[in-house]
Amino acid sequence: MKRSWVIVLLFALTGCATQASWVTFPDSQSGKGMTLDAWLKQHPIPMNQDIAIQELSRGEGDSASSHIVQIRRLEPLHVHKDHDLMAILLKGKGILTLGERQLQVSPGSVISIPRGIPHSFVNKSSEPAVAYAMFTPAFDGKDTVPVQQESLVKTKKQ
């Protein structure tokens, strides 16, 4: 059942990501769907946090997991050594650093981040930015390794 929600959600987001506020998300208590705005009201990012990651589903054998990621101000530069990441920005806009590149992203932007690639996000919206993220294998919450900006510059010069 969870897998079908993820498939429906992914197709809906890729086709209509700029209007993602009406996309249906699973409600863990009732099993029924709800809009993104309703889901966010039930799962707000705490005022004292810059980042909140909530799991939506997990594949069989921990093959993949899907999450809603909310970023208030910024997500510091980091890598995932063991996980590939695909994200779709649903709300907000900002600057994504991906390796040596800086990209302007807005609702509907689809971002592929292979494991080992340094990345960060700076929110340029007045409200938290919101993304739908899929990790392969399933995200364990531990594979976020900080990267110093200076080490990225040194790598570029070598």
Span 116-147, pLDDT tens digits: 999 999 999 999 999 999 999 999 889 999 99
Which pLDDT value is given to residue 150? 56
pLDDT in tens, 58-105: 988 989 999 999 999 999 999 999 999 999 999 999 999 999 999 999
Which pLDDT value is given to residue 141? 87
Closest CA to 87 of 103, 102, 66: 66
pLDDT over threshold 90, residue 14:
no
Listed in sequence order, the residues at least 6 apart from 71 whose beta carbon sits closer than 8 Å to its beta carbon are 50, 51, 92, 94, 121, 123, 128, 129, 131
Which pLDDT value is given to residue 35? 86
Which pLDDT value is given to residue 1? 45
Which pLDDT value is given to residue 33? 76
Ordered by where they begin, the domains of the chain are 2-139 (2.60.120.10)
Say if CB 147 and CB 118 are below 8 A apart: yes
pLDDT over threshold 90, residue 5:
no
d(CA 27, CA 145): 31
